[in-house]
């Protein structure tokens, strides 16, 4: 018997789902929540057969609303029916990528660390479709740059999620594949320990059963970062214009950089709070944290620009561009993790030190 409930979102699954559920019941998982995410009447035989199994609950959505929405439906059902008797949920994909023995290993790790987020991470050895290899590698490195956390498989659907994290992620607005990345960002932002368990990499029939669109869904996954880029580009244009005008007239790099950064910093703060990170915290504390970050970035920008200009001989205009591009990623990471935050639910705050 394990201390977690299994949750499986499924959209137009094949009969492998039936075998998976039977295997999970056989190895001791007491409760399994299936979500039929609008598969339609053609799949009623699959879900009907599973409904009759002891310990299996099937939730049905009339229309396909996305993996994130299906998971949230399972989380709400879990909170209403199981959270007092179990320590969390283990999410499993329905497309055959997660083997029963790997799910068992994640469950065993979670039993040892029931307050942590446990990920089943694929090592991407052997045959991996090109779109999956590129998508996972790109996301992994971008995620590491922006958060400072090296997660080997940011897109894994095999996750053991502790009770203290579930109430918050059940209220996320995202409904598609971006939901899982938002969950990771939220966990790291609120200082959850993330455990990683190596699992097999399974891609059957070139991953044909996956409904993930590597282009469109990636754009949605990176939505926060894209908004940050757009806001930063606008502020950078203002910053650079003011800098260029002042440096042309004063030839003073420090004064020009400082003046330009003050104006663009004010604009960037309100854009970050309202348009990018949607923070609901009080303004004054965030201003204090933002100003501290802003001051550090100004110092680093001036120091790096001066080094590139005076030591390496770059044009001061190019030096400032190179310096600020480098600091751009640092700025996003610190704003996301430290400056702009969303309120934790009262349930989670009261359970920060245990279940």
Is residue 350's pLDDT more than 50?
no
Please, what is the average pLDDT of the chain?
A: 82
Domain locations in the chain as residue ranges: 4-221, 224-339
Q: What is the DSSP string of 278-301?
A: ---S-HHHHHHHHHHHHHHHHHHH
Alpha-carbon gap, residue 217 to 20, rounded angstroms: 26
* pTM beyond 0.75: no
Continuous segment of H or E residues that includes residue 307: none
Token pair, residue 261, equals 């950064």
Nearest to 169 by CA among 56, 272, 91, 59: 91
Q: How far apart are the first and last CA of the chain?
A: 19
Among 32-46, 192-206, 250-264, 310-324, top mean pLDDT goes to 32-46
Q: How far apart are CA 188 and CA 174, in angstroms?
A: 18
Architecture, CATH, for domain 4-221: Alpha-Beta Complex (3.90)
User: Residue 153 pLDDT > 50, yes or no?
Assistant: yes
Q: Is the dihedral of CA 145, 269, 165, 99 positive or negative?
A: negative
User: What CA–CA distance (Å, rounded) separates 228 from 234?
Assistant: 10
Question: How far apart are the C-alpha atoms of 173 and 176, rounded to whole Å?
Answer: 10
Lowest mean pLDDT among 150-154, 207-211, 241-245: 207-211
Instruction: Tell me the per-residue pLDDT of 68-106, one tens digit each, with 9 for 90 and over.
Output: 999 999 999 999 999 999 999 999 999 888 999 999 999
Which of 144 and 199 is assigned the larger pLDDT? 199
The beta strand positions in the chain, using DSSP E, are 4-10, 32-37, 56-61, 88-91, 117-122, 159-162, 194-199
Question: 243 vs 234, 246, 263, 272, 307, CA distance in Å?
Answer: 14, 5, 10, 22, 17
């Amino acid at each position: 018997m394990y201390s977690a409930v299994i949750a499986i979102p499924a959209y137009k699954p094949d009969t492998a789902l039936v075998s998976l559920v039977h295997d999970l019941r056989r190895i001791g998982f007491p409760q399994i929540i299936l979500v039929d995410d609008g598969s339609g009447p053609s799949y009623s035989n699959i879900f009907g057969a599973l409904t009759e199994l002891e310990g299996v609950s099937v939730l049905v959505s009339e229309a396909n609303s996305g993996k994130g929405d299906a998971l949230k439906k399972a989380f709400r059902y879990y909170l209403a029916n199981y959270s007092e008797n179990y320590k969390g949920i283990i999410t499993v994909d329905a497309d055959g990528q997660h083997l029963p023995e790997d799910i068992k290993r994640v469950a065993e790790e979670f039993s040892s660390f029931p307050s942590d987020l446990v990920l089943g991470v694929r090592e991407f050895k052997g045959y991996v479709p090109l779109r999956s290899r590129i998508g996972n590698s790109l996301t992994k490195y971008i995620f590491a740059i922006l958060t400072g956390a090296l997660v080997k498989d940011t897109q894994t659907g095999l996750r053991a999620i502790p009770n203290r994290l579930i109430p918050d992620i059940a209220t996320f607005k995202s409904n598609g594949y971006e939901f899982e990345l938002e969950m990771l960002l939220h966990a790291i932002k609120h200082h959850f320990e993330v455990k990683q368990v190596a699992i097999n990499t399974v891609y059957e029939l070139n991953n044909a059963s996956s409904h993930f669109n590597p282009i469109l869904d990636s754009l949605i996954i990176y939505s926060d970062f894209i908004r940050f880029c757009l806001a930063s580009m606008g502020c950078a244009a203002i910053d650079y214009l003011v800098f260029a005008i002042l440096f042309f007239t004063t030839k003073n790099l420090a004064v020009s950089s400082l003046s330009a950064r003050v104006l663009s910093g004010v604009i960037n703060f309100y854009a970050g709070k309202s348009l990018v990170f949607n923070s609901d915290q009080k303004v004054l504390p965030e201003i204090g944290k933002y100003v501290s970050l802003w001051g550090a970035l100004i110092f680093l920008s001036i120091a790096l620009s001066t080094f590139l200009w005076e030591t390496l001989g770059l044009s001061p205009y190019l030096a400032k561009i190179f310096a600020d591009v480098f600091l751009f990623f640092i700025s996003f990471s610190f704003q996301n993790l430290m400056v702009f935050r969303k309120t934790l639910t009262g349930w989670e705050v009261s359970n920060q030190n245990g279940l």
